[in-house]
Chains A and B, each alone.
Chain A
Amino acid sequence: MIEVSHLSKFFGTRAAVNDLTFEVQSGEIVGFLGPNGAGKSTTMKILTAFMPASAGTAKICGYDVFDHPMEVKKNIGFLPENPPVYPEMSIQDYIDFAARLHQVPRSKIAQAVAHVIEKTGLGDVRRRLIGNLSKGYRQRVGLAQALVHNPKVLILDEPTVGLDPQQIIAIRELIKSLKTDHTVILSSHILPEVTATCQRIIVINRGKIVAEDTIDHLSVRMKKGLIYSMELKSPHVEGVNAIRQLKGLGSITQTGSKLTIEIKAGNEEVRDLIVEAAVNHKMGVLDFSAEKMSLEEIFLELTTVEKAS
């Protein structure tokens, strides 16, 4: 559905997007993840034929975005970073306008408009002027606009930004429900966003792909070390030092009665020795548990490693 190969975009000498290559299959929901300014929006603008690439190609539904922009535009629904809404229009009129722009057949306009308004939960406010609505509603109007012509590919730039938690859940459910007959690519700089909706994520930083995998695979791949935390009743210097002496450990930090211990990969058996040392020195073990590396940390790891190199 979406094929991107060696895509680059330069603004002057600065590369906003640098040699991106990825593919999105039909019916997939792919998350585009990266910190602010990583090149997510630029990539999306290229995919929607809004902006040409400096190098490389991008194809949507088999059409090159540069050679056949009209065909591409017919097949996509795009929600830009700022919802492109006219404040002086009512929601109903605006969606109607979007449907006409996308050449929805005249006889089907009313039905299509009513359908997306209902789908995005805008029924109660559909006669209100967009300018009087909150950011969350505008975001939903933007989404309704992207959906009204029932496009094959949906490109959503930060679809849930500015929404309250309840609305976020509603939008996520909506996006998931689109999976059956749409291909979705959405960007975010917030991880839970991507984990909640996407099957696959592409982590991008400074215009380059730093990781591309399913969420499960990614967390396994990143398991370089394990972090354990140990809660002690009466920690003392002697005992803590004894733990520090053990082999196969990374950094150990003590905050009050809590020790945070990093165990290097492949040294899992050292856990016995840690507990043993604590018991031997009568520090009173209250709790000893693994701290799972969250996606947030994986993300940070991936993007900071890149920065250091």
Chain B
Amino acid sequence: MSLINAWNIARRDFRSYFTSPIAYIIIAGFMTIMGWMFFFSLSHFSLQNMQYQQYNMGKGVSISEGIIRPLYANMNFIFLFLLPFVTMRLFAEEKKLHTIELLMTSPVKLWDIVFGKFLSSFLLLAVMLGLTCVYPLVLFATGNPEFGTIFTSFLGTLLLASCYLSLGIFFSSLTENQIVAGALTFASGLFFWLITWATQSAGPYWSEILSYLSLLSHYNNFSQGLIDTSDVFFYFSFITLGLFLTHRVLDSYRWR
């Protein structure tokens, strides 16, 4: 794999997010919802703490507990809805426009293409997450939040969201219809969330496997301020598997 080739592809895709309305709509939608959520969790939090003080009920909820954790949990949920719109075009549109023929007849490896596509969507994700840094900044300016929790939540969200990207790229490579790619990404992303529900009714053996497969259960440690290498490993494996399957699909495209 050549990083320069991958970067050339990523750069083009990243720019095209911004030359079309996609990036603006997604970022604006994301920031509006996040701002709304942050504002209300903040006002709820301050009201609650005021009541605690007023009635002398001891120490109130911490900032981490009351604001940061729900903020990032909500963010993860919103990414589940929004990121399929980011990834659905990556291969589906190339196929529809026949521009895939340009990529496939250029002296670049399939891995360059796959990684370039991932990188472009990852950069957009980074922009979105970067913009949400204003919320911790507001908290730092007005209060005394724990930096560690914010950092691990941020990292966990980045990894979890990258899994959606990898999943989305895979489904985008399967079809030339963007809607199909987006819908499949959302449905399967939701499935990897809700997989934890089954753990309650499954036996002890299966419940452990199912909960390991859940994207959400690996996020729990991050939200508590912990970085467990096994969680990081899981997310990296998930991302790699998605990209690997995409590579296989593109390879098989040549054989059809």
Q: Which residues of A contact B (CB under 8 A)?
A: 48-52, 70, 73-74, 76, 78, 80-89, 93, 97-98, 100-103, 129, 145
B144 CB within 8 Å of chain A: no
Binary per-residue interface labels of chain B (18-29) against chain A in the complex, 1 for a CB within 8 Å, 0 otherwise:
011000000000
Interface positions, chain B 156-171, Cβ under 8 Å from A, are: none
- A89/B98 in contact, CB under 8 A: no
- A89/B16 in contact, CB under 8 A: yes
Q: List A contacts of B97 (CB < 8 A).
A: 82, 84-87
B130 CB within 8 Å of chain A: no
Q: List B contacts of A88 (CB < 8 A).
A: 16, 19-20
Q: List A contacts of B100 (CB < 8 A).
A: 84
Binary per-residue interface labels of chain B (86-100) against chain A in the complex, 1 for a CB within 8 Å, 0 otherwise:
000000000001111
A sample of 10 cross-chain residue pairs with beta-carbon separation below 8 angstroms, ordered by A number, consists of: A51-B254, A52-B255, A84-B99, A85-B97, A85-B99, A86-B97, A89-B19, A98-B106, A100-B8, A101-B107
- A97/B12 in contact, CB under 8 A: yes
- A73/B106 in contact, CB under 8 A: yes
Choice from A73, A76, A80, A101 contacting B98 with Cβ under 8 Å: A80
Interface residues on B, range: 20 to 34
Q: Which residues of B contact A (CB under 8 A)?
A: 5, 8-9, 12, 15-16, 19-20, 97-109, 254-255
Q: List B contacts of A78 (CB < 8 A).
A: 101, 105
Q: How far is the CA of A81 from the CA of B98 in the complex (A)?
A: 9
Q: How far is the CA of A87 from the CA of B20 in the complex (A)?
A: 10
A50-B101 contact in complex given A70-B107, A97-B8, C-beta closer than 8 Å: yes
How many whole Å from B187's CB to the nearest CB in chain A? 28
Q: List B contacts of A50 (CB < 8 A).
A: 101, 104-105, 254
- B106/A86 in contact, CB under 8 A: no
How many whole Å from B23's CB to the nearest CB in chain A? 11
Q: How far is the CA of A290 from the CA of B16 in the complex (A)?
A: 60
Q: How far is the CA of A48 from the CA of B100 in the complex (A)?
A: 13
- B254/A101 in contact, CB under 8 A: no
Closest to A94 in B: B12
Q: How far is the CA of A78 from the CA of B100 in the complex (A)?
A: 12
- A82/B98 in contact, CB under 8 A: yes
Interface contact tally, CB-CB below 8 A: 66
Closest to A129 in B: B19
Closest to B255 in A: A52
- A76/B8 in contact, CB under 8 A: no
A102-B16 contact in complex given A52-B255, A97-B8, C-beta closer than 8 Å: no
- B107/A102 in contact, CB under 8 A: yes
How many whole Å from A9's CB to the nearest CB in chain B? 11
Most chain B CB within a 10 A radius of its CB, from A73, A85, A87, A100: A100
Q: How far is the CA of A270 from the CA of B188 in the complex (A)?
A: 81
How many whole Å from B222's CB to the nearest CB in chain A? 36
Most chain A CB within a 10 A radius of its CB, from B20, B98, B106: B106
Closest to A76 in B: B105
Q: List A contacts of B5 (CB < 8 A).
A: 101, 103
Closest to B104 in A: A50
Closest to B112 in A: A101
Q: List A contacts of B15 (CB < 8 A).
A: 93
Q: List B contacts of A84 (CB < 8 A).
A: 97-102
Q: How far is the CA of A138 from the CA of B97 in the complex (A)?
A: 12
How many whole Å from B230's CB to the nearest CB in chain A? 38
- B106/A102 in contact, CB under 8 A: yes
Choice from B12, B98, B105 contacting A48 with Cβ under 8 Å: B105
Q: How far is the CA of A73 from the CA of B104 in the complex (A)?
A: 9
A86-B103 contact in complex given A50-B254, A101-B8, A101-B108, C-beta closer than 8 Å: no
- B101/A80 in contact, CB under 8 A: yes
How many whole Å from A270's CB to the nearest CB in chain B? 55
A101-B19 contact in complex given A73-B107, A84-B97, C-beta closer than 8 Å: no
Q: List B contacts of A49 (CB < 8 A).
A: 105
Most chain A CB within a 10 A radius of its CB, from B16, B103, B105, B106: B105
- A103/B107 in contact, CB under 8 A: yes
Choice from A74, A81, A82 contacting B107 with Cβ under 8 Å: A74
- A86/B255 in contact, CB under 8 A: no
Extra contacts besides A50-B101, A89-B16, A102-B107 (6): CB < 8 Å: A73-B105, A80-B105, A84-B101, A88-B16, A97-B8, A101-B8
Q: List A contacts of B98 (CB < 8 A).
A: 80-84
Q: How far is the CA of A103 from the CA of B106 in the complex (A)?
A: 9
How many whole Å from A116's CB to the nearest CB in chain B? 15
How many whole Å from A92's CB to the nearest CB in chain B? 13
